[in-house]
Structure 1
Amino acid sequence: MRIDLNADLGESFGRWRLGDDEALLRLVTSANVACGFHAGDPTTLVRTCAAAAERGVRIGAQVAYRDLAGFGRRFIDVSADDLYADVLYQIGALDGIARSVGSRVTYVKPHGALYNTVVHHEEQAAAVVRAVAAAGALPVLGLPGSAILTAATALGIPTVREAFVDRAYTPEGTLVPRTTAGAVLTDPAAIAQRAVRMVTERNVEAIDGSVVATEAESVCVHGDSPDAVAMAAAVRDALAGAAVELAPFVS
Structure 2
Amino acid sequence: MAMSTRICLNADVGELPGDNGRALDRAILDVVTRCNIACGGHAGDDESMAATIHAAVARKVLTGAHPSYPDREGFGRARPNISNEALEQSLLSQVRTLKAIAHGQGATVAHLKPHGSLYNDAAKDESLAEMVVSICLRLGIPELLGPPDSALELKARNVGLVFAAEAFADRSYEADGHLTPRALPGAVMTDEAKQLEQALSIIVAGEVSARTGERVRLRAETICLHGDTPGAAGSAFALKKALMARGIEITA
Q: TM-score, normalised by structure 2?
A: 0.93
- Matches of 2:173 and 2:204, distance apart in 1: 18
Residue of structure 2 in register with 1:139 after alignment: 143
Q: Which digits, 9 at most, give the CA deviation of each residue in 1:124-146, with x for residues without a partner?
A: 11111111111114211000111
Change (3 A) 1:78 1:130: farther
1:98-117 → structure 2 map (5 Å cutoff): 98-117=102-121
Q: 1:62 to 1:19 in 2, by over 3 A?
A: farther
Whole-angstrom CA distance in 1 between matches of 2:114 and 2:145: 8
2:47 pairs with 1:51: no
Q: 1:232 to 1:17 in 2, by over 3 A?
A: closer
Structure 1 stretches of 5 or more lacking a match? Answer: none
**1:66-116 deviation digits (Å, cap 9, x = unpaired):** 111111111235333222222222222111111222211000000011111
Aligned pairs, how many? 248
Amino acid at match of 1:186: T
Correspondence for 1:92: 96
Identity %: 39
Q: Which residue, 142, 148, 152 being the options, matches 2:156? A: 152
SS of residue in 2 equivalent to 1:98: helix
Counterpart in 1 of 2:185? 181
The answer (yes or no) to whether the contact 1:12–1:19 under 8 Å persists in 2 is no
Q: 1:102–1:37: structure 2 CA closer, same or farther, 3 Å change rule?
A: same
Output aligned runs, 1:24-43, within 5 Å: 24-43=28-47
> Are 2:79 and 1:75 equivalent residues in the alignment?
yes
Q: Is the 8 A contact 2:16 2:228 kept in 1?
A: no
CA distance, structure 2, for counterparts of residue 53 and residue 76 of structure 1: 33
1:242/1:190 Cα in 2 relative to 1: closer, same or farther (>3 Å)?
same
SS class of match (1:178): coil
Deviates more, 1:61-70 or 1:189-198: 189-198
Residues 1:117 and 1:16: Cα distance change in structure 2 (over 3 Å): farther
1:171 paired to 2:175: yes
CA contact (8 A) 1:19 1:224 kept: no
Q: Does 1:11 align with 2:40?
A: no
Q: 1:11 to 1:146 in 2, by over 3 A?
A: same
Give runs of ≥4 in structure 1 deviating > 4 Å. Answer: 14-19
Counterpart CA distance in 1 for 2:105 and 2:99 is 10
Query: What residue in structure 1 maps to residue 124 of structure 2?
Result: 120
2:245 to 237, 241, 245: 241
Amino acid at match of 2:195: I
Give the secondary structure class of the aligned counterpart of 2:208: strand
Q: Is the 8 A contact 1:195 1:219 kept in 2?
A: yes
Q: How far apart are the structure 2 equivalents of 1:128 and 1:77? A: 18
- TM-score (normalizing by structure 1): 0.94
- Structure 2, gaps ≥5 residues long: none
Whole-Å separation in 2 of the counterparts to 1:179 and 1:236: 29
State the match for 1:161 in structure 2. Answer: 165
DSSP 3-state at the match of 2:211: coil
